Amino acid sequence: MFCTFAPKIFFTMEFTAQQIADFLKGTIDGDSKVKVSDFSKIEEGKPGTLSFLANPKYSQYIYDCNASIILVNKDFNAEREVKATLIRVDNAYESLAFLMSVVEQSKPKKTGISSRSEISEDVEIGDNAYIAAFVYIAPGVKIGNNAYIHSHCSIEEGTQIGDNVVLHANVNIYKNCVLGNNCIIHSGVSIGADGFGFAPAEDGVYKKIPQLGNVVIEDDVEIGANTTIDRATLGSTIIRKGAKLDNLIQIAHNVEIGENTVIASQTGISGSTKIGKNCIIAGQVGIAGHLHIADGTIFGAQCGLANSIKEPNQMYMGSPAFNLKSFQRSSIAFKNLPELQRITFDLQRKVDALQTLNK
């Protein structure tokens, strides 16, 4: 196969405030003709760029910001004059994300298959694919349309990959795994490695249990760099539609992550645990195996969970994790422990003194 890369194109897109407001269905305060061609943070705004204000903590920066256009929520009330043109929208952060997505999608895409990749003869590859140098694709693999596979990826036997999937450099997908449409897999991710399955023998030696299942990743999932998702012992480890996984996460064998659940970095989920949809799991959370987590559950950072959660839409903190309100009350008591200890010691000395007098 020969590489047929698209030519490299340099271009600048420039839009007026009116064009952006029309696109976002927003309203303008200021010069509707001012133009921008790039983005900037509100604390580092530059002329010719578009910035945004969504978090009230950053309100102080809007008054001295040099950005030409700033997206704000419709209910924003300025305390003094703002130099920039404001575009008022329902949700400034969501509108910014939408604009950035449009700009990203408009950039020219590479197409073609590098002659330095190794692709087996019976691999099926859809239209408009890009496959970089040093990619290995094993027999029986099926890849959908508009796939974007970067250098040094390895895709093993029988794996199926949907349309519009992006695999960044050094992604490894083991045999018979399934990826849905519109998935983004970042560098260093491992999908389908053996689960941590060992059985202790009478002599104390651990015998490996063959891991015969696979990993199924549904549509619209994004997985951060160096995250690992183990294959099932039997059946499938499943990441449901719309889930978002941060960098450096461990998903063990036979785990199921529900739709639109988000998980932050350094979280570990043990084998066969089922997590519901629309859950939020903060960083460094540890979840034991064979648990069921209700829909809408929120775990704060460094939670440790050893029991199932049955009631939906509750927030938990601490290790072991317990309900947020109870955690907050316990935290107050914990912070007062040194003073309580001092009071206890003083009382003990007084009791000892009284006992001595009564002898």
Are 276 and 291 contacting, i.e. CB atoms less than 8 angstroms apart? no
The CATH homologous superfamily of the domain defined by 15-106:
MurE/MurF, N-terminal domain (3.40.1390.10)
pLDDT of res. 12: 54
pLDDT of res. 306: 95
Every domain of the chain and the residues it spans: 15-106, 112-326
Q: Distances in Å between the alpha carbon of 66 and those of 21, 24, 41, 243? A: 19, 22, 10, 37
Peptide bond into 320 cis (omega under 30): yes
Residue 109: how many CB atoms within 10 A of its CB? 11
Among residues 307, 271, 313, which one has the least CA distance to residue 292?
307
Got the DSSP string for 74-143?
TT---SS--SSEEEEES-HHHHHHHHHHHHHHHS----EE-TTSEE-TT-EE-TT-EE-TT-EE-TT-EE
Enter the tokens of residue 181. 């449409």
- Angle, to 10 degrees, between the axis of helix 17-24 and the axis of helix 92-106? 110
Strand 298-299 to 315-317 pairing: parallel
CATH topology of 15-106 equal to that of 112-326?
no
Query: What are all long-range contacts of 321-329, with beta carbons under 8 Å and residues at least 24 apart?
Result: 324/300
Residue 51: how many CB atoms within 10 A of its CB? 27
**150, 152, 253, 290: which one is catalytic?**
253
Catalytic annotation on 186?
no
Q: Which one-letter amino acid corresponds to residue 233?
A: T
Residues 338 and 247: their CA atoms lie apart, in Å, by 38
Residues 104 and 100: their CA atoms lie apart, in Å, by 6
Burial-class residue 205 by CB neighbours within 10 Å (0-12, 13-18, 19+).
Answer: exposed
CATH architecture type of domain 112-326: 3 Solenoid (2.160)
Q: pLDDT per position in the chain (359 positions), as tens?
A: 334 333 333 235 789 999 999 999 999 999 999 999 999 999 999 999 999 999 999 999 999 999 999 999 999 999 999 999 999 999 999 999 999 988 888 778 888 999 999 999 999 999 999 999 999 999 999 999 999 999 999 999 999 999 999 999 999 999 999 999 999 999 999 999 999 999 999 999 999 999 999 999 999 999 999 999 999 999 999 999 999 999 999 999 999 999 999 999 999 999 999 999 999 999 999 999 999 999 999 999 999 999 999 999 999 998 888 787 777 777 777 788 888 888 899 899 888 888 888 77
Enter the tokens of residue 140. 């029986």
pLDDT of res. 59: 95
